[in-house]
């Protein structure tokens, strides 16, 4: 509407009854699962550490990586980048996605084989939403910028006033714990 157009041919996307596939079930993946359940979604998950208690807590089912990609309407990545996870979303795994599936990556670009991803996106078989890229900042002439089936954000999806305050609070807490000689659980790397 900002351009002066009144387009009524755009349609939304219902989440109720759809299947969300999570790749990773840490703190963020768990929270995304809770939000998806609130919208009436079925949630399936691949994680390197499947725990029946966590499955029950989040009301989800664990599945193989292939099963998650084959069965989901939306797949969202929530993994740390390690030697084991680098490139794990390869051409074979991407080929398992349903036509029309939305692949979301706000974790690390290197989880996905970029060449295989670009082939899938250019075929218009799937949709993508990405906040992380192999090359940052993403060059102005990168092919991904020209695709109509992709939503891009400049690696700042986390950047809200509340999130920034929370980061400052956490940093303060870690420093206070350090000087008090306490165990610091929040530090991961």
Positions marked catalytic? 108, 136, 155
For residue 46, give every residue at least 6 positions away whose Cβ sits within 8 Å of its Cβ, in sequence order, or none. 21, 22, 23, 24, 62, 63, 64, 65, 67, 68
Closest CA to 69 of 48, 39, 99: 99
Residue keyed to tokens 């990586």? 65
First CA to last CA distance, the chain: 45
């Amino acid at each position: 509407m900002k351009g002066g157009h009144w387009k009524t041919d755009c349609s939304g996307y219902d989440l109720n009854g759809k299947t969300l596939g999570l790749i990773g079930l840490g703190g963020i993946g768990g929270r995304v699962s809770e939000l998806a359940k609130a919208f009436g979604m079925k949630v399936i998950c691949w994680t390197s550490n499947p725990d029946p208690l966590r499955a029950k807590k989040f009301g989800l089912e664990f599945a193989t990586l292939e099963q998650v990609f084959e069965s989901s309407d939306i797949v969202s990545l929530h993994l740390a980048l390690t030697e084991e996870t680098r490139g794990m979303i390869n051409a074979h795994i991407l080929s398992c996605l349903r036509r029309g599936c939305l692949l979301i990556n706000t974790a690390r670009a290197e989880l996905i084989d970029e060449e295989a991803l670009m082939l899938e996106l250019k075929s218009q078989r799937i949709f993508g939403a990405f906040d992380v890229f192999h090359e940052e900042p993403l060059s102005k002439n990168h092919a991904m910028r020209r695709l109509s089936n992709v939503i891009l954000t400049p690696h700042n999806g986390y950047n809200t006033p509340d999130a920034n305050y929370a980061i400052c609070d956490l940093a303060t807490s870690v420093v206070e714990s350090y000087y008090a000689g306490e165990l610091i659980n929040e530090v991961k790397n």
